[in-house]
Amino acid sequence: MLRLIYPNGLPVGVYPADPSVEFEAGMVCGLKQMGNDIFLTVSDGVSIQPYGIIDDVRSRAFSKPVVDEEIIVEAEGDEYGRTVRDEVALLSHPNIQAKSFASSVEVVLNTNNGAITIPKGTPLNYDNDGDGVLDSVRVICSYAYDISDFPGDDTTVGSGNMTAWITRGEYATDQYDTTVAYPLNGILYCGRDGRLTTRSNGPGIGMITGPPSVNINELQFLWF
């Protein structure tokens, strides 16, 4: 998803789309030469330098991020305040992209159904009934998931072209790295998968003007 907040002019970065890649609107693209032709492809931030923000989609499934989902699991503890057995809970969504998953507590993730297993021996860290005794494990998770009942799309059919915004402006997207934090005014980079990140990788390409949150899972940013 790409939402225009204060765009400058029109999207003018129109080139043939690299036929070998999938992408979603809001990811970062770069220029790639194949033979005598120049294509737009997904940028990796380094070998394919960032050129603009993609305003097209070619994907088998759309994806969405979830930021700071809270899971509280009541559990029996031993004399050391650790769980005495494995505990299982379900996240809000299945079909999770494994590389996007981050958790405040070490868990085992089932990417297909969105189940997390809290291993035996995990320290209790939350007082769920307010009696002053730790009786639960509180887990904060962030991840991206594929929307299984909403098929993808290919807006390059017919033209074969990819459109990109390459001028300075302010935008919002749901295509970002869910494993890192996004402080206000922080510098953004292009991750190796073409999604925005605060993890240093190549040149800085933007500034955070609206961090994602539990209620608003889009990243608002100024494109340099």
Can you tell me the mean pLDDT for 206-224?
96
Q: Would you state the structure tokens that stand for residue 152, as one six-digit string?
A: 């993808």
162 burial class (0-12, 13-18, 19+ CB within 10 angstroms)? Answer: buried
What is residue 100's three-state secondary structure? helix
Span between the terminal Cα atoms of the chain, in Å: 19
Q: How far is CA 134 from the centre of its chain?
A: 32
Domains of the chain: 2-57+155-223 (2.40.300), 63-149 (no CATH)
Q: 22 φ, ψ to 5°?
A: -105, 155
Given 3-state DSSP classes, what are the helix, strand and coil percentages for the chain, each rounded to the nearest 5? 0, 50, 50
Show the tokens assigned to 124. Answer: 């209790």
Mention every residue, 6+ apart, whose C-beta is less than 8 A from residue 187: 198, 204, 206, 207, 208
What was the pLDDT predicted at 12?
78
Q: Please give the model's pTM, rounded to 2 decimal places.
A: 0.91
What are φ and ψ of residue 204, in 5° steps? -70, 135
What angle is formed at CA 87 by the lines to CA 85 and CA 93, rounded to 5 degrees? Answer: 165
pLDDT tens digits along 19-62: 999 999 999 999 999 999 999 999 999 999 999 999 999 998 89
| Residue-averaged pLDDT of the chain | 96
Apex CA 194: angle with CA 191 and CA 198, to 5°? 30
Average of per-residue pLDDT across 133-160: 93
